[in-house]
Chain A
Amino acid sequence: MFSQFLGHFLLEEGYVDTATLNEVLKYQDKIRLKLGVLAIDLKLLTPEQVSDIHNTQARQDKRFGEIAIEKRYMNPDQLDDLLFTQKSEHLRLIQALIDKNVFTLEEADAILDKYKVKNQLTDEAMDIMKRDDVDGMIDIFLDFDETFDQETCRNYYALLIRNMIRFVDRNIWFEEMQKTKEYEAPYLITQVLEGRDRIMTGIAGDAGTLLQFAAQFANEPLEEMDDMMEDAVGEFLNLHNGIFTVNMSDQGREMELEPQIFLSNAKLNGNVEHYIVPVYFPYGKVDFIMGPV
């Protein structure tokens, strides 16, 4: 994910144009190593163990390493080694930029420093970014202080980013949270969580972006804005909210899910604030909305 944050910075500062960045990101994808592949390569896990961990991960909100330890496939020292090796993953974008003759190694290093200064990141925060530590990134970029329920909102969005990486696309980056009473979108899919409070959650975007988002999640060649597209976006929201309710239930807070509602030319207005996190995919922006009902 750090590659996408950095890529956006390179574009914004005029270091690269969109075409070059897309080419570099595409190239970088080819040389990216997933944790499972890396573990097999380092002979820490067998392909069967990796497959078992991935199957478990699809049902539980747990990290790859956490499951590997629980299943006694590796010990904590081996996990440290694996994560240490993976930390160098952020260098892949730099490597790709150098390979494609966009920058020299020295220039790339200077750009990383400029990114750090522009975003007012400490050394520790920069390490969090380089490690693609989702929880850490959430704390760096999203301010939950003024939300209706700080802990719930933070947990919700941290899980959302993890679920997007897990079920849709890892090539994402997000912007600061916006707070608004009025909101409009060409398409909006909502689902209410009913418990101690009623909370509205939603996914909004334009037709083209939501269609690609839906196709990626469903792993189906969706081409039209039809009920299949609505179902796929709605099912992602339902899946994410379902895992969220399990997490909340484990903390002693029960929530029920209501059926999703699909709206076109949607408008939200009224007296309550809605909290919106814009998430950027390679094909466009999707807004993730949350607010009290």
Chain B
Amino acid sequence: MKFKVMVCDDSKLMRKKLKNFLELSYKDIDVLVAENGKNAVEVYEAEKPNLVFLDIVMPILDGIGALKLIKAFDNDAKVVITSSSGTKQKLKEALESGAVEFIQKPWTEDKIKFVVDKFMSEGE
């Protein structure tokens, strides 16, 4: 079964860049996208992806709000927060809400690969 990753960012450009990078880097991967926190919760509940990349600052429902709802639905959800605002407070808030990693934007290819490889190997 293919490893399923969801990319949630309100920026179409950032969604496209991360999706393209993941699809070019991994053969057996399905990349789903969501454009805000509410949409991310809906896609998660329908598809139960193995890994989620979630932005924080988004309209309708922000990343931390979406993370809490996703964790309430599935306590084993693996959610990586990606945000340009990497303050200690934000990091603490994300980890306390159940995030498994925090990546400050702009993300690097090495960092994304490190995280995907880690959770891919855990699922094997």
Contact = CB atoms under 8 A, between A and B. Distances in A.
B75 interface: no
Interface string B10-48: 111110100000000000000000000000000000000
A254 B91 CA distance: 13
Contacts of B88: 249
A256 B14 CA distance: 20
A246 B83 CA distance: 11
A238 B58 CA distance: 11
Contacts of A246: 85-87, 104
Contact of A259 (B12, B16, B57, B83): B57
B106 interface: yes
Interface in B93-123: 104-106, 108, 110
A234 B13 CA distance: 10
Contacts of A59: 86, 104, 106, 108
A238 B12 contact: no
B106 A55 contact: no
Interface in B52-96: 56-59, 83-89
Main SS at interface, chain A: helix
Contacts of A241: 84-85
Interface in A201-228: 218, 220, 227-228
B84 A254 contact: no
18 contacts: A55-B110, A58-B106, A59-B106, A227-B12, A228-B16, A231-B13, A235-B11, A238-B57, A241-B84, A242-B86, A242-B104, A242-B105, A246-B85, A246-B104, A249-B87, A249-B88, A249-B89, A259-B59
Contacts, number: 60
B85 A245 contact: yes
Contacts of B110: 55
Contacts of B59: 259
A243 interface: yes
Given A257-B57, A259-B58, A242 B13 contact: no
A257 B11 CA distance: 15
Contact of B87 (A220, A235, A254): A254
B25 to A, nearest CB: 17
B108 A232 contact: no
A231 B104 contact: no
B13 A218 contact: yes
Given A55-B110, A220-B13, A259-B10, A254 B89 contact: yes
A58 B108 contact: yes
Contact of B106 (A228, A239, A256, A257): A239
